[in-house]
Amino acid sequence: MTAPRPSRFLIYGLVDPRQQCLRYIGKTHKRREIRLQEHIAAAQAGETSHVYRWLRALLQSGHLPDIFVLERVPGTDNWEEAERRQIAFWRAPHEINFPYTHPPQTRKSVPTIIRSVRLTNMHDGGAVESWR
């Protein structure tokens, strides 16, 4: 028996707060705070992919990444397409007017400011990571 499909997916970004640099784009069906804690736990456990090496260095410097939602995708829609679309958008930073201000996520949150992009996942979406 398969698990029920989530009601929605979130395409999210991780930002290095030191330079306000977008470093990673991913997807989750969980709350963004939970997904961030999973990323941090994996980095602390010694995972070796680029995103976790970056996260370890960030944590060692006394900082936490900012996480924000780029796009909400209904559970019936294709999250892979949405993730690819976001990665393609951020791969072309010459088309973005920096600093880029992403609107607040909730009434209690503040806008996310992005001054540059250096993605650790420069693939078209999915599980494979590569460095550019």
Q: What is the DSSP code (8-state) at residue 131?
A: -
Instruction: Look at residue 112 and give its three-state secondary structure.
Output: strand
Quick: pLDDT tens for 40-66. Answer: 999 999 999 999 999 999 999 999 999
- Is residue 126 one of the residues assigned to a domain? no
Q: Which domain holds residue 27?
A: 8-117
**Count of structural domains, the chain:** 1
- Is residue 131 one of the residues assigned to a domain? no
For the chain, the farthest-separated pair of C-alpha atoms sits apart, in whole angstroms, at: 47
Residue 28 sits in a domain whose CATH number is: 3.40.1440
Angle at 112 between CA 109 and CA 117, to 5 degrees: 160
Q: What is the pLDDT of residue 122?
A: 53
- Is residue 129 one of the residues assigned to a domain? no
Q: What is the pLDDT of residue 107?
A: 84
Model pTM?
A: 0.87
Nearest-10 crossing angle of helices 50-60, 32-44 = 90
- Which are the contacts of 106, defined by CB distance < 8 A and separation ≥ 6? none
